[in-house]
């Protein structure tokens, strides 16, 4: 009896490249078939995927569907609805120095074999939404789920090959050694979501092959709360945005900047909002998630002493539970303000009005998202004009990333490149310039 040896990363890439070279992945029919099958995978296996997400992150079924499974289905549907339109060659005006018989246009070419590396916090969505774009653009794909969400990784590794063209789509599970081995291969694009330290490793490895990268990174996403806003509305929206997935969301509000009087009034409003959303004992709420592992639990509990606890503050290591927590009187130099929190802790930092808030934001790395609660158009306009962030949300955290017609991505330390909807086609294609002059 012979046992097949496991495929090496080099074998996998060579196999997928051979498929790409046949031209099969380029047809719109192949692309739409793959997207429909991926949709079927998600809808037919919703309960299995939701169970895996509960195992990895304590996600409720509602949250698993809303933020991962249905999210990706919506991205597929939007792509299927518009793909033919997006792929249409785009004519360009012919300049006067060329003859009138000339035609020029741009068209999208698939790149080839692309690598998608995903993190653990939305382990299904952040693997599969880029895969949607890569397939829609006509590429072969290697998908690398996060080893820190092992149940979801295993579920995807089992399901994807059962639905998709296995000569063009491969799942490679594993952690640092496996990803390092993959990155040694030549890909035509590497799409990485995760932290900036590994982002640099990915970019260095890609540079060896002159492979373009998309880096979807994180950072501390600030919230500015203006005076004279309805703080019950602000608190409700902040609590829902911050504590979703126990704060382990790349675009979660990281900290709040506001003046001292507004902060004082916001404190009880946030305490009420947390109780309204998660009840008096969030640990007992089926809707509240858990911290991914002990390492992150210990890191986060180490940040709880950075301010006065307004609400929450308790934790249970055996359950990887940290209560939705609001900290007041937080010094900008305290540990909780030193790094991206990526957990259920919301510090309130006081500033002396709008100018100081803008300076505070601009003194730090460009964030992935910035949120503003202000009734004053001039204030909203100033923040939009005077700061730089991956995305900007007025009055509502997180929601901008659910709009498939908006590009999702960072700037500076929060990343480079973007995706979703037609922006994924841009990311995973080469826009080729074409000129045609008749020969006679």
> Given the rule CB under 6 A, which residues bind ligand NAD?
117-121, 126, 144, 146-148, 175-176, 179-180, 193-195, 198, 201, 216-218, 250, 340, 342, 368, 410, 415
Pick the closer one to ligand NAD by CB: 19 or 195.
Answer: 195
Please tell me the distance from the alpha carbon of residue 173 to that of residue 132, in angstroms, as a whole number: 19
Minimal distance, residue 227 CB to ligand NAD, in Å: 30
CA–CA distances in Å: residue 287 to residues 61, 164, 203, 242, 278: 8, 32, 37, 14, 7
The 10 Å CB-count burial string (b at 16+, else e) for 194-213 is: bebebbebbbebbeeeebbb
Minimal distance, residue 385 CB to ligand NAD, in Å: 24
From the list 63, 68, 185, 250, the catalytic residue is 250
Measured from each CB, the residue nearest to ligand NAD is 218
Geometric angle at alpha carbon 326, from 323 and 329, rounded to 5°:
145
First to last CA, the chain: 66
Minimal distance, residue 149 CB to ligand NAD, in Å: 7
Pick the closer one to ligand NAD by CB: 125 or 379.
Answer: 125
Q: Is 63 a catalytic residue?
A: no
The alpha carbon torsion through 379, 383, 384, 387 (nearest 10 deg) reads 170
Residue 369 β-bridge partners? 391
CA–CA distances in Å: residue 386 to residues 111, 137, 191, 221, 389: 36, 35, 29, 16, 10
Pick the closer one to ligand NAD by CB: 179 or 374.
Answer: 179
Minimal distance, residue 197 CB to ligand NAD, in Å: 8
The 10 Å CB-count burial string (b at 16+, else e) for 74-110 is: ebbebbbebbeebbeeeeeeeeeeeeeeeebeeebeb
Query: Contact at 8 Å (CB) between 132 and 72?
Result: yes
From the list 63, 68, 185, 216, the catalytic residue is 216
Query: Contact at 8 Å (CB) between 195 and 220?
Result: no
Residue 325 β-bridge partners? 345
Pick the closer one to ligand NAD by CB: 138 or 218.
Answer: 218
Pick the closer one to ligand NAD by CB: 312 or 367.
Answer: 367
Report residue 128 as tokens: 């599969």
Pick the closer one to ligand NAD by CB: 19 or 55.
Answer: 55
Minimal distance, residue 424 CB to ligand NAD, in Å: 13
Minimal distance, residue 260 CB to ligand NAD, in Å: 29
Q: Is 339 a catalytic residue?
A: no
Instruction: Report, as residue numbers or ranges, the catalytic residues.
Output: 216, 250
């Amino acid at each position: 009896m012979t046992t097949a040896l496991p495929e090496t990363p080099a074998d996998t890439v060579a196999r997928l490249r051979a498929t790409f070279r046949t031209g099969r992945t380029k047809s719109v029919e192949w692309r739409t078939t793959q997207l429909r099958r991926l949709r079927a995978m998600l809808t037919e296996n919703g309960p299995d995927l939701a169970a895996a997400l509960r195992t990895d992150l304590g996600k409720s079924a509602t949250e698993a569907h809303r933020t991962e499974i249905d999210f990706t289905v919506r991205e597929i549907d939007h792509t299927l609805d518009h793909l033919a339109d997006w792929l249409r060659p785009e004519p360009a005006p012919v300049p006067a120095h060329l003859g009138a018989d000339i035609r020029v246009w741009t068209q999208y070419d698939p790149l080839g074999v692309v690598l998608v590396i995903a993190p653990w916090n939305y382990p299904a969505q952040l693997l599969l939404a880029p895969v949607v774009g890569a397939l829609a653009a006509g590429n072969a794909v290697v998908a690398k789920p996060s080893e820190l969400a092992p149940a979801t990784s295993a579920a995807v590794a089992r399901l994807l090959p059962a639905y998709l063209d296995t000569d063009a789509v491969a799942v490679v599970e594993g952690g640092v050694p496996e990803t390092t081995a993959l990155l040694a291969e030549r890909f035509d694009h590497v799409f990485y979501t995760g932290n900036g330290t590994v982002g640099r490793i990915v970019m260095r490895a890609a540079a060896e092959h002159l492979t373009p990268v998309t880096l979807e990174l994180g950072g501390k996403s600030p919230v500015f709360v203006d005076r004279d806003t309805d703080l019950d509305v602000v608190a409700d929206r902040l609590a829902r945005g911050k504590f979703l997935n126990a704060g382990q969301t790349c675009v979660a509000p990281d900290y709040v900047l506001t003046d001292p009087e507004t902060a004082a009034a916001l404190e009880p409003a946030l305490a009420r909002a947390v109780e309204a959303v998660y009840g008096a004992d969030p640990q007992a709420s089926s809707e509240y998630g858990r911290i991914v592992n002990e390492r992150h639990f210990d890191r986060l509990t180490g940040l709880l002493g950075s301010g006065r606890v307004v609400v929450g503050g308790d934790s249970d290591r055996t359950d990887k539970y940290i209560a939705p927590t609001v900290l007041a009187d937080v010094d900008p130099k305290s540990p909780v303000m030193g790094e991206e929190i990526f957990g259920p802790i919301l510090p309130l930092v006081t500033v002396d009005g709008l100018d100081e808030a803008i300076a505070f934001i601009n003194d730090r790395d460009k964030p992935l998202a910035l949120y503003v609660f202000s009734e004053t158009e001039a204030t909203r306009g100033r923040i939009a004009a005077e700061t730089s962030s991956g995305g900007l949300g007025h009055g509502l955290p997180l929601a901008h990333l659910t709009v498939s017609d908006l590009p999702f991505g960072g700037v500076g330390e929060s990343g480079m490149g973007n995706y979703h909807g037609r922006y994924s086609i841009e990311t995973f294609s080469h826009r080729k310039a074409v000129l045609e002059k008749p020969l006679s």
